[in-house]
């Protein structure tokens, strides 16, 4: 089994897609006004509008309601990414901090409130986990 994508449902696909293009530095494939994808080497971040929820079952997803999942991106230098994005992020939850498991981590919320983590493995153990 391979994790193919994470999909975020939003009321404003263009705004959220623009935000994640800025964060990832990658251009999105915008298939329709209600659906876009940002392809990364590890997985795809899909962004769907509320109109797409009907395709999965009315009421099966709700935009801007996440409080349990974190969208995570491994980056080469989390401190450099923070310097690059600082002015574009409205809600920084935690500035770059080295976590007990050996990742240096920046936590912030996207425009819909979803938690985003940019991290860089910095300890020998964290680096070894990433090599697998």
Residue 48's domain comprises: 1-65
> Using one digit for the tens of pLDDT, what is the confidence trace for 84-117?
999 999 999 999 999 999 999 999 999 999 999 9
Going from the C-alpha of 85 to that of each of 9, 17, 33, 52, the distances in angstroms are: 23, 15, 26, 30
- What does the alpha-carbon distance between residue 25 and residue 4 come to, in Å, rounded to a whole number? 20
pLDDT value for 1:
83
Task: Confirm whether pTM is higher than 0.85.
Answer: yes
Residues 50 and 94 reside in one and the same domain: no
Examine the fold and report which residue of 65, 86, 110 is the final residue of a domain before the chain moves on. 65
Residues 12 and 50 reside in one and the same domain: yes
Examine the fold and report which residue of 36, 65, 94 is the final residue of a domain before the chain moves on. 65
> Using one digit for the tens of pLDDT, what is the confidence trace for 70-88?
999 999 999 999 999 999 9
CATH code (residue 126)? 3.10.180.10
Examine the fold and report which residue of 65, 85, 110 is the final residue of a domain before the chain moves on. 65
- What phi and psi, each to the nearest 5 degrees, are found at residue 11? -85, -10
CATH code (residue 58)? 3.30.720.120
- What does the alpha-carbon distance between residue 35 and residue 99 come to, in Å, rounded to a whole number? 34
Q: What is the tally of structural domains in the chain?
A: 2
């Amino acid at each position: 089994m391979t994790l193919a994508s994470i999909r975020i449902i939003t009321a404003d696909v263009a705004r959220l897609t623009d935000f994640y293009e800025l964060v990832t530095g990658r251009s999105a494939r915008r298939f329709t006004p209600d659906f876009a994808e940002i392809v990364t080497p590890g997985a795809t971040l899909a962004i769907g509008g509320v109109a797409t929820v009907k395709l999965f079952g009315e009421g099966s997803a709700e935009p801007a309601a996440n409080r349990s999942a974190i969208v995570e991106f491994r980056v080469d230098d989390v401190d450099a990414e923070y310097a690059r994005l600082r002015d574009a992020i409205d809600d920084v939850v935690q500035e770059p901090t080295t976590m007990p498991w050996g990742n240096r981590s920046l936590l912030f919320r996207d425009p819909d409130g979803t938690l985003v983590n940019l991290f860089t493995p910095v300890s020998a153990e964290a680096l070894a986990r990433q090599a697998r």
